[in-house]
Structure 1
Amino acid sequence: MSTEPETTENSGPEVPDTGAEGADEATAATEGAGAAAGTEAEGGAGTGEDGEAGAGDGEVTAGAGEGGEGDAADLSEAEAELLAQRIERERIERRKAEKKTPIESGTKLSGKAADLLAAVRAVESGQKPPETVFSEPPAPRRPAPEPVRRPQPVPAEAAGGPAAPSAPPAEAVAAVREVLAAGGAPETLAAQAAAVLGEGAPEALRQDPWQLLRVPGVRPEHADSFARALLGPECSPDDERRGRAVTVWLLEQAALAGHTALELPALTTALGRQGVPEAEEAVQSAIAEGEALVFQDALEEPGRPVAAPAGEGDEDEDGEAERPVRVLVGLERYALAEESLADALARVVNSLPKEEASARWESAAAAASGSAAELIRAVAGHGLVLHTGGEAARAEPAALLAAARALGLRAVAACHTADGRRRFAGLLGAAESAVPALAAEVEAPAAPADAPARDTASDAVVTVSGLLSGAEGPGRDAEGALALDLLVVLDAPQLDVESAALLVESVPDGARLVLSGDPAVLWSAGPGRVFADLLAARVCPQVASRTPDPGPLGELVSGIGIGELNQVEAPGKELVIVPVRDAGEAVHRTVQLVADSVPRALGIPPEQTVVITPGHGGAAGTRALNAALKERLNPGPGRFGGFDPGDRIAYSPAPGRTVPGRVVKADADGLHLSCAGGSVVVPRERVEQSVRHGWALTAHQAVGARWPAAVVVLPGDAAQALSRPWVYTAFGRADRHLSVVHGVEQALPRAVAEVPAKPRTTRLPLLLRTQVPAAA
């Protein structure tokens, strides 16, 4: 089976071969086009699962870029993206115009740029960096500033699910199609190219054919073929434009694999594998053109603060301080998001008045018990608190939220998925019924006049995407900050750096922020490992839940979390192992379990059962399983892009987001879906790109939700895709029953015991340690 593993867990920081291993859902529409260009249809951007490695050319995120002010609130997501891209291109063109002569091999750089290039080369070769770069004491980092808060643009979303962004103008697509045809590229890429490159897409492609690499699913060999057709003899492997474009492409692939930046040696090595003869010059060109940023991060040494000025500590024979340094290169989008996130977290940590830990919070803590009381006390005296635990531990942030609301505070919880929101609202309702008289026992502050009403527990529970877009939650004040006193974010491991930056920047001064989640699950689909980095940085209190998940499934999953695959007693058929010999038998037994065995034995209907498999491609991937399940559960001709009314689907409105739903109908407007209780219409041209059948999902698509029954499919040749976080996440999606279609033999216990999460290269821990003292 040619599995397409989740790149976020199977791509190391060295930027492995970004070959055709795994196709991103956001690039599914280009699969046929890739085949037309002479590549495998299973290719794509090497992004892993569908829509789950979405760190590509997606949404414009205020707080980490431009496009968050003025009349942006009236723009759709696609229009806002085009606007931001146009502004960026204009900025780059201005920089080009200001340059009197081109930079040749770095010889005409001066000042800090020349010093930086010399330092980069010295660090890479293992030599001592130039004195001018590292011997100077680093400038003290300024205190975390108050971020500029702007009202965020509200995407065109239905109440229950987001609508697809509008397509680029037809005339723009037609102009791009002509250029693609002239270069022998698939014309089906025209709409994506026009959306990514903006108004000047045709001219940009003629002047620099390698700009085609910005289109998801296009690989360097595709862009090379396109460039040869357009440029003829002028096309060469050492073309500066090619080196720059491949550099940016590799950084984008790294972001899809979860990295916010790459160490310079890893990047130059990857450039060499892509046939770039002068890798250093390619990186230098990308930096000079503003397409990438370079960082020098001092590494932490035992007994020496990270931010200690040079000159303090050990010295060499010349009396000069030597500091271990790593040189990183990253895309501006993620670099700025990580910087903004660190600044915003420092502001939240430092902005809460210490005297607010008052008797009214102690009364709330006294009414709770165990880890819930510990959490309430931690929140009473700190602006930022981390909470860890499994599914049962979610009752503790529910108790915190109930106590805060009883005290008259504006308290809101945000979950990763609509299913998580539904489940947590139930926990909050139960918690609030246990503290009905708390507000009367203590003196609660008067709510602001403009505070929204909180009639039910469900009003206080939203999704992260709905909160950020303004479709859900308390709304924003005049400064653009969220109108709340306490924000509890569930499923915190699913926050990437961009969404986390926007979320934390929106927290007002004096408000409290709690990030809660299970650190053992798969990390975010987008770049970064925010929750894990915060836990490692130890800049705020951490409350570890002592509430175990109950029953045989809870015992099984808890063991996996610590690297043990234990045999558990399952008297109520909570766990069933189904051995299979090959992928074909795995598909057959899966269909049998979903359609017959589980409904008959446990009374759980097929629509309440999820199938989870490691990848999309291959004989037992989501495509094969969904085809077999559709044939059995909802057969039909698939008149609209392979879909029929009643089909169960997984809709990806944006990279990194998957919303389950069903097909209602299809007409000239597009495919009508019912998602999370709302209606969504997906235009015809976006159906193949953003909608898949959804009986079978990958683990990243399923994270944040639970089903009464889950069938986890592990065919024999999926062994390389398995890791402890993957198994933990997949097995943990079941509430009542788990069936494991098992064909990997000893690879399963070996993965649980020996294969942790793939490391990610991020800068957040260092940025936090330089701004926030370690928590006492």
Structure 2
Amino acid sequence: MTNDKAAELLAAVRAVESGERSAASFFAEPKPSRPERPGTERPGRPAAPSARPAVPPPGGPGAAAAGTVTVPDEVRAVLTEGGAPEALGRRVAEALGEGAAELLRADPWQLLAVAGVRPEQADGFARALLGEDCSPGDPRRAEALVVHLLERAALSGHTALEPDALAKGLAQHAVPEPDEAVRGAIEAGAVLVFEDALDAGPVPAPPAPQEGEDGEGEPETPVRMLVGLDRYALAEESLADGLARLTSTFAPSAEEDEGWAEAARSAPSPSAAELITAAARHGLVAHTGGEAARAEPAALLTAARALGVRAYGAAHTENGRARLEELTPREPAPEDDGAGTGAENVGAGSDVVTVAGLLAGREGPGRDEDGAWDLDLLVVCDAPQLDTETAAMLVESLRDGSRLVLSGDPAQLGSAGPGQVFKDLLAARFCAQVVSRTPDPGPVGELVSGIGIGELNQVEAPGKEVVIVPVRDAGEAVHRTVQLLADSVPRAIGVPAEHTQVITPGHGGAAGTRALNAAAKERLNPGPGRFGGFDPGDRVAHSPSPGRTTMGAVVSADEAGLHLDCAGQTVTVPRERVAETVRHGWAVTAHQAAGMRWPAAVVVLPGDATGALTREWVYTAFGRGERHLSVVHGAGEALPRAVASVHAPERTTRLRTLLEAALREEAEQAAAASAREQDDTPTES
């Protein structure tokens, strides 16, 4: 493709992206000429993505990205021919694997499988490669868009979508006959379709036939049809099966009964006693409560350890792991034998770990010959942050007969990944549930507890535990935030800037994380940003994978990449991964901050971000400060309105339906067994 034609194509794509032109008009213009190629017959689609492995690759944070991917010359050539930037080559090779060039020539819309590529860009690429053969109704385009829409929905937490929602999305991309296009994608095997029964609870007995009826037939059960990608379908079904396995294979030991009873009697609170009793009797327990209730799973771990039970606790973040470990003191572990003492062994040998470290094998117990963890009880805190795939991997790694306790605050924001595991588990009433009665203390705890029930109350804060700072615009919000971070909070509260976290609704905008971090860096650690925009001493947020953020600081940089100190661990981020995984971290979003707490928090509510406010967002953000909370308030009435009545969007998932179906099946089997026993019981003549 000549430079002129590439420029024309880029201009057309940008016009569609900006809304100046419709997607349909993009295909109506004369197509660019292209050399004829043999083999224009449409090949079969590539195999659908396989289910996630039972165990993720080992290594520290970012280890999976440490290796460099070689970009074949054929990939560079097809990208150039299609007018795509050559810099996209690495991501194309990672996403499409071996044979990427041949796949793109046969089906250019497979470019949509590459992270960051938008439909308009894939259309431009296809138009350059296919010429006259390119049309908005191409089945290949429709299938790729269906998969793309489902992947986009996963970023919002959905594991599946209703067909009508998919058809609506296709129509917005000028796909003719979108309903037929959805059916075509299903028939081609690009996606899966599910019909899940919506009936909740045990199936009732059929009504007696009325006069004039023959009594044949059964009442219809309402169903919900959903369309999804196989990776999330397999994860939810595996998770539902695994949870059912834990409940059915666990049998309490009569020998341990007295020990558990004594532990419950000695528990530090009634709620802790209730949790210990539930864990003694059940293989699966859900525990809910705020930050103060974290002491209850800690008490369970301590009690289990005293009874000789191999018990481990896991948290979503390193920050959460450290807080849980503080509540579960134990005797120091034996000194290392010298086999390994570096950061790669942080957490190894400890019975309090991070979820990511546990799954990667860096922390926690070893695995037996069947791949199951060598433990009897796993307590997972921050359970709302579990996405479907992570939860499935956890449950798959538990052996039959072991115990699992999921603990967390259901009022917080949900997981960054697809699914709402904890919420679905609670809603299905699938297992024993323990509701903590331990309130969060102090003015911050009182404020956050009120938000959880929809009330934004004024609280007494004699020690300036809660401070509201009104601002008129975003510029003033940024100025006051940096002032609080660098001066006011350290001076008045005694919490230094490095222990104070700024939280704001989004990355963009005049008072988003980018603007706030730029201002904070200029004040707290000015420098030229000679390491890809970073300098030694910069506070950073490292996100090696979606939904997983570790706070740290820049140490240095060299040919190997950017060297970070993340909670005492040395992490090296390869140069090509820095831009997409590392941000400055004086300010983060509430989703990034979930599972972490700091001595002080400054929450920024700019007027241009009021649409992002929900009760869950406010509850999560306001609860990140342990001793102090400053609210830079420019949201006006949007704040009390969000707390009172605006909730995070509902996620479309299948786990609750699958769990309810398992309960109905169990009830039917129990009823059938009871009926057989009655039939076998001899009667007196």
Which TM bucket (shorter chain)?
A: 0.7 to 0.9
Q: Deviations over 1:342-380 (max 9, x none)?
A: 000000011111454611211111111410111111111
- Distance in 2 between residues matched to 1:309 and 1:260, nearest whole Å: 33
Match of 1:427 in 2: 327
Q: Are 1:338 and 2:338 matched, yes or no?
A: no
Distance 1:554 1:723 in 2: 19
CA distance in 1, matches of 2:476, 2:17: 24
The CA distance in 1 between the partners of 2:214 and 2:190, in whole Å, is 37
Q: Quick check: 1:668 aligned with 2:568?
A: no
- Per the alignment, residue 125 of structure 2 pairs with 226
Which residue of structure 1 lines up, in the alignment, with residue 149 of structure 2? Answer: 250
User: Secondary structure of the residue that 2:599 maps to in structure 1?
Assistant: strand
- Contact in 2 for aligned 1:255/1:527 (Cα 8 Å): yes
- Call closer, same or farther: CA 1:507–1:91 in 2, change over 3 Å: farther
Task: From 565, 569, 581, give the equivalent of 1:690.
Answer: 581
1:277 to 2:277 alignment = no
The match for 2:610 is 719
Shift of 1:262: 0.6
For 1:352, the equivalent position in structure 2 comes to 250
Pairing 1:382–2:289 present: no
The aligned residue for residue 637 of structure 1 is: 528
Summarize the Cα distance change of 1:40–1:499 in structure 2 as closer, same or farther, 3 Å threshold: farther
Task: Verify the 8 A CA contact 1:149 1:506 in the aligned structure 2.
Answer: no
Query: Displacement of 1:155 after TM fit?
Result: 2.4
Determine whether 1:373 maps to 2:280. Answer: no
> In 1, Cα distance between the equivalents of 2:62 and 2:348?
23
Summarize the Cα distance change of 1:386–1:231 in structure 2 as closer, same or farther, 3 Å threshold.
same
8 A Cα contact 1:167 1:191, kept in partner: no
Asked whether the 8 Å contact 1:387–1:542 carries over to 2, the reply is yes
Q: Is the 8 A contact 1:154 1:471 kept in 2?
A: no
Report whether the alignment pairs 1:327 with 2:225.
yes
1:47 corresponding residue in structure 2: none
What's the TM-score, normalizing by structure 1? 0.75
Q: Which residue pairs with 1:17 in the alignment?
A: none
Are 1:552 and 2:443 matched, yes or no? yes
Question: Match of 2:409, as an amino acid?
Answer: D
Name which of 35, 38, 52 aligns with 2:14: 38
Is 1:524 the counterpart of 2:415? The answer is: yes
| Aligned counterparts of 2:514 and 2:424: Cα–Cα separation in 1 | 34
Q: 1:596 pairs with 487, 490, 497, which one?
A: 487
User: Equivalences for 1:446-457 in 2 at 5 Å?
Assistant: none
> What do residues 382-435 of structure 1 show as CA deviations (whole Å, max 9, x unaligned)?
000010000000101111100000000100000000011111101111xx69xx
Asked if structure 2 preserves the Cα contact closer than 8 Å seen for 1:316 and 1:322, the reply is no
- SS in structure 1 of the partner of residue 545 of structure 2: coil
* CA shift in 2, pair 1:290/1:561, >3 Å: same
Partner-residue secondary structure (3-state), 1:587: helix
Deviation at 1:282, TM superposition (A): 2.2
Instruction: Note if 1:650 corresponds to 2:541.
Output: yes
Q: Compute the displacement of 1:167 (Å).
A: 4.8
Letter in 2 for 1:575: V
Aligned counterpart, 1:188: 87
Report the Cα distance in structure 2 between the residues aligned to 1:673 and 1:195, rounded to whole angstroms.
25
Map 1:93-242 to 2 at 5 A: 152-157=55-60, 161-163=61-63, 165-167=65-67, 169-172=69-72, 174-242=73-141
Q: Which residue of 1 aligns with 2:34?
A: none
1:465 lines up with 2:356 in the alignment? yes
Q: Return closer, same or farther for 1:231/1:91 CA change in 2, 3 Å cut-off.
A: closer
CA contact (8 A) 2:505 2:512 kept: yes
Q: CA deviation at 1:324?
A: 1.8
Provide the residue aligned with 2:675 in structure 1: none
Contact kept, 8 Å, 1:415 with 1:489, in 2: the verdict is yes
Q: Does 1:268 align with 2:268?
A: no
Contact 1:644–1:663 under 8 Å retained in 2? yes
- Separation of aligned partners in 2, 1:246 and 1:214: 10
SS of 2:65 mapped into structure 1 = coil
Deviating 4+ runs (over 6 angstroms)? 33-36, 39-43, 148-151, 308-313, 315-318
Distance 1:583-1:461 versus aligned 2 partners, 3 A rule? same
Tell me the distance in 1 between the aligned counterparts of 2:290 and 2:379.
16
Q: Deviations over 1:530-583 (max 9, x none)?
A: 000000000111100011000000000000000000000100010111111111
Closer/same/farther in 2, CA of residues 151 and 712 from structure 1, 3 Å limit: closer
CA shift for structure 1 position 458: 8.2
Task: Give the one of 299, 304, 314 matched to 1:399.
Answer: 299
Distance 1:238 1:382 in 2: 54
Mark the CA change 1:282 to 1:35 in structure 2 (over 3 Å): closer, same or farther: same
Q: Distance in 1 between matches of 2:83 and 2:160?
A: 33
**Distance in structure 1 (CA, Å) of the matches to 2:289 and 2:662:** 27
Q: Is the 8 A contact 1:311 1:320 kept in 2?
A: no
User: Which of 424, 448, 461 pairs up with 1:570?
Assistant: 461
Q: Which has the higher contact order (CA 8 A, sep 6+)?
A: 1
- SS across alignment from 1:242: helix
Superposition RMSD in Å:
2.9
Secondary structure of 1:218 counterpart:
coil
Evaluate the alpha carbon distance shift between residue 410 and residue 354 of structure 1 in structure 2; reply closer, same or farther with a 3 A threshold: closer
The residue number in structure 2 matching 1:77 is none
Q: After the TM superposition, which of the residue ranges 339-348 and 293-302 deviates more from structure 2?
A: 293-302
How far the C-alpha of 1:457 sits from its partner, in A, is: 12
Which residue of 2 is the match for residue 297 of structure 1?
Answer: 196
In structure 1, stretches of 5+ residues that fail to align are 1-32, 44-89, 96-147, 434-455
The TM-score with structure 2 as length reference comes to: 0.85
Structure 2: stretches of 5+ with no match in the other structure? 1-8, 20-42, 332-346, 671-685
Does 2:369 align with 1:489? no
**Out of 308, 314, 320, which is 1:414 matched to?**
314
Say how many residue pairs are matched: 615
Q: Contact 1:35/1:41 (CA < 8 Å) preserved in 2?
A: no
